Structure 1
Amino acid sequence: MGRPRKPRFVDGLELPDNLYTDPKKRKNYWRYIRPDGSILTFRATTVEAIRQAKQANRQRDLFKHQPAANETLWTARAGSLLDRYTSWVAWTELNHPKQATASRWAQKRRYVERMCEQLQNPMPNELTLAMVREWWESQDYHPQRNSRAALRSFINHLMLEGVVPKLPFNPFNTSDEAPKLIPRQRPPKVRQRLTITDFWRIHDKAGELGYEGLQIAMELSLLTTMRRGDVCSLRLDMHVTEVGIDKGVEKSISQRGEERATYLRWSYSKHPGLRRVINRAHHLSLNNYRCPFAVSYPPKRRQPRAKQDEHWCRLMPSRISNQFKEARDAAGVREDLPSNAKPTFHEIRALASHLLKKSGHSPESIAEICAHTDAEITENFYLSGHEREYIDVGITIDPKLISRK
């Protein structure tokens, strides 16, 4: 008889089988081992992760026979919700090829797949409004906001096929003329703004840590208001010319398409500081095995990438965020704040917008280079939260009117 497995505890709670903590030591990140050996990485509190793992383990017990070699536990039931999910993916990629090649398509598929898994993969004719509502209201604001469009498309597909008779309407629609699930209210912003003093403290500390690519990324974001993804995808052989930088906004391309997206040009004559940053990026590229990207970093171990147009020294967005956090904490910036309130790399973009406003530029012109749909987004989410602006009051009351008798 084998030795019994030693129980594992996190925060005083015993972890069920197949649930493990994150190997990168990230807080509230977990790994669940599926029946086919694949790993599902998800984010949840300890109590919620244990609940989901126990729920998935109960689902395993329903299938005592081993599924086919090319099937997993979740897709073993023919005609189930995940089986319909596969047909929805195939239909979308066939009829909407532009959406299927978008950068966010994989994430949208994952939102739908996660809903099917967390609902225990029922048959479509068993799906009720009460089940969907209970699951929807257990989600936080950001998962609701990000997944609603994909879920609406998936339920539309099921309703057109006539396989969800217990759903009287699409609960994920956004029209006020029909019933719909109410999303959570947006939580108040807790992340603090980044000041220019803190920016240079983090910038100097990044140099001490050997993160020259992070320094270049910070300077590019400050001078151009580029997002983290745009900075990482900036190529010296495609977007950098003799007179400046020509770059399309990736978020705008994914949302509006290449024809209607926002394309920006920064010329060295109007932005002289960019020439120095790009020259530094060229030198870093030569040191990092001629990496064609403007920001690069040689990892300790070379890992071949799936895409041929990428380079193994390319500095990816997740690594930029991790390096920024490391440099920020090493520099002692906002040590008194909790981790979720400390400024991140994205706050450089807000700092750049704030400095542009102080330079005398209008919110409308700032919204244009930020590729926002209107200036209200720029005002509410990028220009607010910095130091208070005081209006000089130049009118007074006549002292004779308030004299005491």
Structure 2
Amino acid sequence: MVPRPRNKANKGLPINLYFDQRRGTFRYRRPTDGKWFQFGADRGKAIDAAHQLNTTFLRGSDLVALVLDEKSVTLSSFLATYEQDILPPRELAKATLDLYTVRFKQMRATLGEHPLEQITIRMIAEFLEPLTARSSNQARAILIDVFNHAAAKGLCPDNPAANTIPKIEKKQRKRHTVEGLKAIRSKAPLWLQNAIDLALITAQRRGDILNMRFEDIKDGFLYVVQSKTEKASDAGWLKIKITEQLNAALARCRDDILSPYLVHRRPERKKEREGKDHWTKVDERFLTRAFKDARDAAGCYSGWKEEEMPGFHEIRAMSLHLYKRAGKDGQRIAGHATENMTRNYQKDHAEVVWSEVEADLDIGEFAG
């Protein structure tokens, strides 16, 4: 017989735990004999206690599963299924998939060997506690989705991750100053200087800067398909007019290294790596480390805490600020919504309508 669905007051609660609307309290029904126990009005404590009790009463479930020829699915095992079957159709950007990989590694190390149905709120809360607010909330959001899919397949009775509370994220990283970014650029290798210049002039994200190719320069324009938005929206099909400033930056990208990418470098060892289609390509993590090294060498932002130090990502905010200060429209070049982008969405990219923008920010105070 299919069990009767839980009413609205009991939705989101572990099995055997119920909310008494009349008294405003929670009560637990012992599954062995149906006896009721009052758990008070504290929802968090009631849920945590119910999970612990359910785990205790289900300790023999592994023996039952053996008789029924069933096997419990561990979190590690289900994460493999999640990666293989659930993530690919979402067509996530590489940077997002890299983030999932990092979080999955953390989850497997701490919770991976536990059967899904035995993972409690407390176990997840203890896993999230030592993480920073941003990392914790990222991991929590992923776990909520993972357990939603697991519950839909009948692999666990509820979603313990959904009952944890997200941390409050306080933005700690500060903005670049003109003097600070100039100092960092002066200590950067040439390839990183090129990346900084392109970021300032085009106001594009780190990944899009690193994906720019020489073949994208056509008929006086630099064509950019923003990787973060090309699948989800149409704020990413840009046709950037090559102005005098941008042309000078592009010229600095041409050197004696034969590479398809505007931003490139000669590594110490020429070696093809997974995820790189050319040995000269710079990946995002290497760029982040190189920028930090240049920032440390510059000695700027002294007195700031490590978590306050701006990285390469904050150059985009600096660019938009400088465009605004110069009385120019930096929003469109950043890839924000326009009528043409809406038309792209309606046509499902069958006929892409490129949004033409002009990169005319004077970065002479940085590049000389």
Give a deviation string over 1:366-395, Cα, whole Å, max 9, x none. Answer: 444334689xxxxxxxxxxxxxxxxxxxxx
How many Å separate the matches in 2 of 1:100 and 1:217?
Answer: 24
Verify the 8 A CA contact 1:246 1:266 in the aligned structure 2: yes
How many Å separate the matches in 2 of 1:89 and 1:370?
Answer: 31
Match of 1:24 in 2: none
Task: Please point out which of 222, 240, 244 is paired with 1:245.
Answer: 222
How many Å separate the matches in 2 of 1:187 and 1:300?
Answer: 39
How many Å separate the matches in 1 of 2:310 and 2:108?
Answer: 35
How many Å separate the matches in 2 of 1:223 and 1:368?
Answer: 13
How many Å separate the matches in 2 of 1:346 and 1:83?
Answer: 35
Name stretches of at least 5 consecutive residues in structure 1 with no aligned partner: 1-76, 173-179, 375-405
Alignment-mate amino acid for residue 142 of structure 1: R
Match of 1:234 in 2: 212
Could you state the TM-score of these two structures normalised by the residue count of structure 1? 0.59
Alignment-mate amino acid for residue 221 of structure 2: G
- Bigger fraction of residues in helix: 2
Verify the 8 A CA contact 1:213 1:315 in the aligned structure 2: no
How many Å separate the matches in 2 of 1:123 and 1:357?
Answer: 54
How many Å separate the matches in 1 of 2:152 and 2:326?
Answer: 54
Give a deviation string over 1:180-238, Cα, whole Å, max 9, x none. Answer: 4321011242x3322223322332333xxxx111111111111111112111111111x
Give a deviation string over 1:323-361, Cα, whole Å, max 9, x none. Answer: 323333333322333333333222221111111121224
Match of 1:51 in 2: none
Verify the 8 A CA contact 2:73 2:155 in the aligned structure 1: no
Match of 2:75 in 1: 81
1:86–1:353 Cα change, 3 Å: same
Alignment-mate amino acid for residue 222 of structure 1: L
How many Å separate the matches in 1 of 2:123 and 2:301?
Answer: 43
Q: CA deviation at 1:138?
A: 4.1
How many Å separate the matches in 1 of 2:93 and 2:167?
Answer: 30
Match of 1:273 in 2: 245
Q: How does 1:318-397 map to 2 (within 5 A)?
A: 318-361=285-328, 366-371=330-335
CA RMSD between the two structures: 2.8
Matched position secondary structure for 2:199: helix
1:134–1:342 Cα change, 3 Å: closer
Match of 1:205 in 2: 187
Match of 2:33 in 1: none
Verify the 8 A CA contact 1:112 1:151 in the aligned structure 2: no
How many Å separate the matches in 2 of 1:129 and 1:315?
Answer: 41
Verify the 8 A CA contact 2:174 2:310 in the aligned structure 1: yes
2:157 is equivalent to residue 162 of structure 1: no
Match of 1:196 in 2: 178
Q: How does 1:247-266 map to 2 (within 5 A)?
A: 247-253=224-230, 256=232, 260-266=234-240
1:279–1:318 Cα change, 3 Å: same
Q: CA deviation at 1:101?
A: 7.6
Q: CA deviation at 1:112?
A: 3.9
Q: Among the aligned pairs, what percent are the same residue?
A: 25
Q: How does 1:275-314 map to 2 (within 5 A)?
A: 275-281=247-253, 283-284=254-255, 287-288=256-257, 290-307=258-275, 310-314=277-281
How many Å separate the matches in 2 of 1:324 and 1:359?
Answer: 26
Name stretches of at least 5 consecutive residues in structure 2 with no aligned partner: 1-70, 339-368
2:176 is equivalent to residue 215 of structure 1: no
Verify the 8 A CA contact 2:292 2:311 in the aligned structure 1: yes
Q: How does 1:83-122 map to 2 (within 5 A)?
A: 83-92=77-86, 96-99=88-91, 103-119=95-111, 121-122=113-114
Give a deviation string over 1:295-337, Cα, whole Å, max 9, x none. Answer: 1111121112335x72212222223223323333333322333
Alignment-mate amino acid for residue 250 of structure 2: I
How many Å separate the matches in 2 of 1:205 and 1:170?
Answer: 48
Task: Please point out which of 144, 147, 170 is paired with 2:139.
Answer: 147
Give a deviation string over 1:87-112, Cα, whole Å, max 9, x none. Answer: 3333325xx53437855235325424
Match of 2:30 in 1: none
1:252–1:131 Cα change, 3 Å: same
Verify the 8 A CA contact 1:240 1:246 in the aligned structure 2: yes
Verify the 8 A CA contact 2:226 2:236 in the aligned structure 1: yes
How many Å separate the matches in 1 of 2:299 and 2:132?
Answer: 31
1:223–1:108 Cα change, 3 Å: same
Higher relative contact order, chain-length normalized (CA < 8 Å, sep 6+) = 2
How many Å separate the matches in 2 of 1:131 and 1:327?
Answer: 40
1:128–1:316 Cα change, 3 Å: closer
How many Å separate the matches in 2 of 1:100 and 1:320?
Answer: 21
Alignment-mate amino acid for residue 206 of structure 2: R
How many Å separate the matches in 2 of 1:110 and 1:326?
Answer: 23
